[in-house]
Chain A
Amino acid sequence: MIEPRAHAVKGGTPTLRIRDLSIEFSRRRGDDLRVVDRVSLDIWPNEIVGVIGESGSGKTLTSLSAMRLLPKRARIVQGTMYLDGTSLHDRTERQMRELRGDRIALIPQDAMQSLNPTLRIGRQVGEPLELHSGLSVAAAREAARKLLQSVHIRQPEQRVQEFPHEFSGGMQQRAMIAMGLALNPQLIIADEPTTALDVTVQAQVLRLLREIRDDKGTSILFITHDLGVVAELCDWVYVMRYGRIVEEGPMRRIFTEPRHDYTRMLLDATPSIRDVRKVQV
């Protein structure tokens, strides 16, 4: 039923494997609310996987659970998660902290809110290296300069001295990506990283993510509500609705022959710039 996966390695292990994950929110009144319901997904090395869904579909919670960064009132009620074949389930908070940044990096939607306004960019981008690799401040600063260069920020030697507010939105997002790349993670979780950006800047960020995958073989989990971005970037797609995966498949097939009604509805509802056909309600 599900197609063979181009990036799946024979006899190998996926970078991230989630099986039967359910997440519930405790509520002051009434029963617990199930927001993620028996979700299973795989991300293989060298693969860009898209998780697409509208608001409330559970796409962000599913991805945050892999880093165990769920909000306080949410808890995992069942399911297993494996990072590169080893279970994430019985890790202590201390062990998780070592994994974050080192093996898994998160690129959030709003870079401005995630950057510390009082610290210079160089300090922040180099911080993972100070904390995880024990680099000196000066060595981390030099590494930060190289990282900024790798995400195509011009004049990085001056830029490391600047504060976040001196960066444009696209540059802030690229600085976040640079920070995520610092420790060469196996998996990048990107949660709507281009939603707040102008289309021309978005195109640059998408190109950069593809470049990272091509150069380093990094696995990328890309969360979005934008079908166009998925079409541009992803190899494999999961479609989520009301906490469930309703369909998965290779990107091309999802767009050319959607199997689930909801996927079809999403495709029909999304206007295209090349297509004058009116959107379906």
Chain B
Amino acid sequence: MSRDKIVLDGLSKVFQQRRFFRASDGLVAVSDVSLSVPSGQTLGIVGESGSGKSTLLRMILGLIRPTSGTILIDGQDVARMPRHDEKDFRRKVQPIFQNPASSFNPRQTIGAILRAPLEVHGIGDRHSRRDRVVALLEQVGLPADYAKRHPHQLSGGQKQRVAIARAVILKPSIVLADEPTSALDVSVQAQILDLFRRTREEMGLTSIFVSHNLAVIRQVSDTVAVMRLGRVVEAGRVDDIFSNPQNEYTRALIDAVPDHAAVINRPERIATT
């Protein structure tokens, strides 16, 4: 068995579009993607809108079924997983989404939201669950009495902290994050990225981090895959890809990012008259 925790082989997704009286060709969202993530590492997936990065992630999460190809997690084929293993899979693989406000029930308290995974999986009793919730809140930097609050009483960054807490409360080995900081101010984004990195290291997580933001990807990833129109155009170690991109599109993408750090090294532009 290889050391790779996640192996994607020839993964494709074609969405059938319904049209009146016409055979449809289907929309190819992801096309023949093969990638692997070694245990304990983070793969960054970067691409512009419509590149298929979120579809790819949703397939790995088991939320949509691939048209072809296989997903192996710990050597097990996710598509051919027996029903009784599905709960184990859900426990092992946890998501963090872009907008936590829409993935929390607004009528539940933060405590109830965090407790739910433990209840579903029948872990512990009332007391131990409460202790676990308090411990998790502390781990993500929130006071214990936040368990009594409702989602709308939290800021965007605080909600994303709760989302991270919920993702790790079942002690998963894999966390899949889809644009988790895109809706946040930069100062808050820095805190959430820091929390993500710390949590990952403390818990030895393997992760995939999807983002359109190349700078964020560079911060959190060990390896990176650049996607365009459903295909991976280039993949490799993050430093290699960013400092020496081989693919033309990757180069164009990196060049297009306005970068504040470049100002310091750039010769002064002559003011136009």
Contacts and interface: CB of A to CB of B under 8 A. Distances in A.
A48 to B, nearest CB: 10
B186 interface: yes
| Most chain A CB inside 10 Å of its own CB: which residue of B185, B212, B254 | B185
Contacts of A280: 190
A266 B261 CA distance: 12
B259 A235 contact: no
Interface string A249-281: 001100110000000011111111111101111
A98 interface: no
A273 B254 contact: yes
A209 to B, nearest CB: 12
B134 interface: no
B247 interface: no
Given A273-B214, A273-B242, A227 B256 contact: no
Contacts of B191: 281
Contact of B194 (A55, A267, A281): A281
B120 interface: no
Contacts of B193: 271, 279
Interface residues of A, number: 44
Interface stretch (A129-137, A142-150, A194-202): A194-202
A233 B189 CA distance: 23
Interface residues of B, number: 35
A36 B185 CA distance: 19
Interface stretch (B2-10, B201-209, B264-272): B264-272
Interface in B211-230: 212-216, 218-219
| Most chain A CB inside 10 Å of its own CB: which residue of B189, B257, B268 | B257
Contact of B259 (A206, A252, A268, A272): A272
A169 B212 CA distance: 16
Interface string B119-150: 00000000000000000000000000000000
Interface in A74-104: none
6 closest Cβ pairs, A-B complex: A228-B258, A272-B261, A232-B258, A271-B215, A269-B190, A198-B48
Interface of A: 6-7, 46, 54-55, 169, 198-200, 202-203, 206, 213-214, 225-233, 235, 251-252, 255-256, 265-276, 278-281
7 contacts: A199-B212, A226-B258, A228-B215, A269-B190, A272-B215, A274-B259, A279-B194
